[in-house]
Amino acid sequence: MRLIINLFLIVLCFGLVWVLYSSIREPIKFKAEKEMRDDAVIAKLIDIRKAQDAYRSIKGKFAADFDSLTQVLTEGKFAIIQVFGDPDDPSNTAAIRYDTIYKPAIDSMRMLGINLDSLRYVPFGEGAVFDIKADTMTYQKTLVNVVEVGVRKRKYMGEFADTKYQKYDHLYDPDATIKFGNMGAPNLSGNWER
């Protein structure tokens, strides 16, 4: 009888150790996974912001969809104006000359390490695509271009896209959107930049 009780206590101890280990491991795993996934999505959003900025310098507005963004940055060219002479020097008697050269936008995208073919896809999103909106609005009596690109955390958090993980991070909301830009103001900052 004493042997059975001792075996039962040993099994119970191992069970309690396993429960304790699991309760410590889960929040650590959640935090590491959340940070890794958030960082990957933020890096992709920064690339999209750079691509949108390049698109705006070619077209004068932001792209409203990824197809036109990819097409213009693949086929479009940047106009680069070279100035010969100093236009700010009042003693300059030589003629000031301007020359425009055109450089392919795809070269700049490659130099920045931006892959235009996969730009639309959310990391860890299993094929999910970023939401993208672009338009013009009147801001302080001026017509300005605005853009907003983002994704809900639920689309890329995988198994951690559940509100039960709020017990480890009270600010965590799987339905929150991580984005840059604003359709209500000319602003390209991301909501992760606080």
Could you tell me if residue 18 is inside a domain? no
Given the DSSP bridges, would you call strands 77-84 and 177-181 parallel, antiparallel or unpaired? Answer: unpaired
- Token pair recorded at residue 9: 């206590």
Q: How many separate helices (H) and strands (E) can be counted in the chain? A: 3, 5
Could you tell me if residue 39 is inside a domain? yes
pLDDT at 120: 94
The C-alpha angle 76, 80, 82, rounded to 5 degrees, equals 160
Could you tell me if residue 16 is inside a domain? no
Which residues, in sequence order, are CB contacts of 33 under 8 Å at separation 6+?
Answer: 157, 158, 160
Tens of pLDDT, residues 67-82: 999 999 999 898 888 8
C-alpha to C-alpha distance for 6 and 17, rounded to whole angstroms: 16
Could you tell me if residue 8 is inside a domain? no
DSSP designation for 90: T
Q: How many domains does the chain have?
A: 1
Could you tell me if residue 190 is inside a domain? no
Per-residue pLDDT of the chain (194 residues; tens, 9 = 90+): 888 888 888 888 888 888 877 778 888 888 999 999 999 999 999 999 999 999 999 999 999 999 999 999 999 898 888 888 777 777 776 777 888 888 999 998 999 999 999 999 999 999 999 999 999 998 888 899 999 999 999 999 988 888 888 888 888 899 999 999 999 888 889 888 75
Could you tell me if residue 3 is inside a domain? no
Could you tell me if residue 99 is inside a domain? yes
Provide the residue type at 96 as one letter.
I
DSSP designation for 159: G
Record the pTM: 0.82
Tens of pLDDT, residues 160-177: 888 888 888 888 899 999
Could you tell me if residue 67 is inside a domain? yes
- Expressed as residue numbers, the domain containing 141 is 28-181
C-alpha to C-alpha distance for 41 and 59, rounded to whole angstroms: 26
